Amino acid sequence: MTELIPLALFATVFLALMLGYSVALTLAGVALLFALVGIATDTFDPGDLGFLPGRLFGIIANQTLIAVPLFVFMGVMLEKTRIADTLLATLSRALSGLHGGLGLAVVVVGALMAASTGIVGATVVTMGLMSLPTMLNQGWSPSLATGTISATGTLGQIIPPSIALVLLGDVLSNAYSQAQLSQGVFAPDTVSVGHLFAGAIGPGLVLVVLYLIYILTITRLNPESAPPTSPQARTGIGAILGGLGPPMLLIIAVLGSILAGYATPTEAAGVGAAGATSLAAAKRALNTNVLREVCLSTLRTSAMVFFILIGASVFSLVFRGFGGDEVVQGLFVDMPGGMWGALAIVMLVIFLLGFMLDFIEITFVVVPIVGPVLLAMGIDPVWLGVLIAVNLQTSFLTPPFGFALFYLRGVTPSSVPTTQIYRGVVPYIGLQLLLLIILVLWPDLARWLPRVLYS
């Protein structure tokens, strides 16, 4: 019966999260309650709790996680100074006269914002405020317009520098080390956030292309869903380059320094934060009020992430203290299909959990449990990380708790019903699942660039 305790712990945490309790307090509180009951019933070793201070100090001293507040600062600074406004306006004019031209501009600008900010909420809200009124006024189908904006906003989940990739990279790094130690490898290889960034670039670009192809196709088949704007509104290449310049410089500075080996992700995050501040100052958009808003928003987001990380650390310690890792490993070993069967089940579970939990909860609760077992089966860590990242991306679009849907609902006119937003994201969820299938059939899409850069 004791082997059922870890499963009961996981089920209780999941139920509490579904009831709406605080994520961090639920993870830590439920785990400690189970530990106390386990100590009273002699099924949990109280000495295991002695490892907790070391775990918490490890979180505080983790150099990789310093990138989180820095990337958040960079994204919020770009959001507050509205650097994307000019870019969207110039690209929209350049693509005017085409069916779906405004939608193509939204996807391109959203991809650039994703590579500049890494924050889904900032991209969805910004694109919703800037482009949704124009799309609706020009006669766009509400479902196509809202679906395009919502899906484009989630590109910040997979295109580096993504906060999700930073967190997932840190979790997978620990899981990979644990998997190798369990196999008797005492000089383990490492996988870093930089590896995951490099692995996600190819799939991220493929997803952008899939979005563009979808818009071109649907607007050709159904021109009434996206009428073209007046061709007289087009602009020149100089204005386009002028709008592209600032975000492209920031992308090159941040990603280029990581991929070229000049900086770690943490150092590059510092470059990005300084670069975003410099761009804001150059635009004369930086003042004490803006800086105060940026710092407060960064503080709130960072505190939330680290509070959840602390709670997840307590949960994983108690889960392993009850032998949960052995239970999960036994379930996977006995699963039909071996490695592929285990991988399929994990991907299905993550996708279904995405309907009810957000990516941070899944990253900190599920991945530390299943990651070491899958990696011990011989799965490439970068490939697995990109697969999980793409799968987690769907959680932003899947109702009823898709956060991109909530963000967009907040800036969408009341004349557009929520059902239209839900209907609009369905094709884009299909495209994300198509990318997942492409990655399974062609793993080198995620593995070739890290292999070239870090071999």
User: Residue 15's pLDDT band (boundaries 50, 70, 90)?
Assistant: confident
Q: Which amino acid is at 342?
A: A
pLDDT, residue 97, reads 64
When pLDDT is averaged across residues 347-355 and rounded to a whole number, the result is 84
For the cut 60, the answer to whether the pLDDT of residue 123 exceeds it is yes
Return d(Cα 450, Cα 455) in angstroms, integer.
7
């069967």: which residue's tokens?
A: 341
pLDDT exceeds 90 at position 400 = no
Distance CA 312, CA 142 (A): 39
Considering only CA atoms, which of 118, 138, 62 is closest in space to residue 309? 62
C-alpha to C-alpha distance for 264 and 254, rounded to whole angstroms: 10
State the burial class of residue 61 (Cβ atoms within 10 Å of its Cβ: 0-12, 13-18, 19+).
exposed
| Contact predicate 380/330, CB 8 Å | no
Amino acid 1: pLDDT: 61
Q: Which residue has the higher pLDDT, 241 or 250?
A: 250
For the chain, how many structural domains are there in total? 1
In the predicted structure, residue 435 carries a pLDDT above the cut 90: yes
pLDDT of residue 432: 93
pLDDT by residue (tens digit) across 276-326? 888 888 878 788 888 898 899 888 878 887 888 888 888 888 888 888 777
Each residue's pLDDT tens digit, 415-425: 888 788 888 89
Q: Decide: 132 and 411 in contact? Cβ < 8 Å.
A: yes
The CA distances from residue 44 to 37, 41, 370, in Å, are 8, 8, 21
Residue 408 has pLDDT above 90, yes or no: no
> What is the per-residue pLDDT for 231?
56
Give the separation between CA 147 and CA 215, rounded to whole angstroms.
Answer: 11
Q: Quote the domain boundaries for residue 314.
A: 2-454
Tell me how many degrees the CA angle 397-359-353 measures, rounded to the nearest 5.
Answer: 75
Residue 233 has pLDDT above 60, yes or no: no
Looking at 218-227, 310-319, 322-331, 369-378, which range is the least confident one? Answer: 322-331
Cβ neighbour number for residue 277 with a 10 Å cutoff: 18
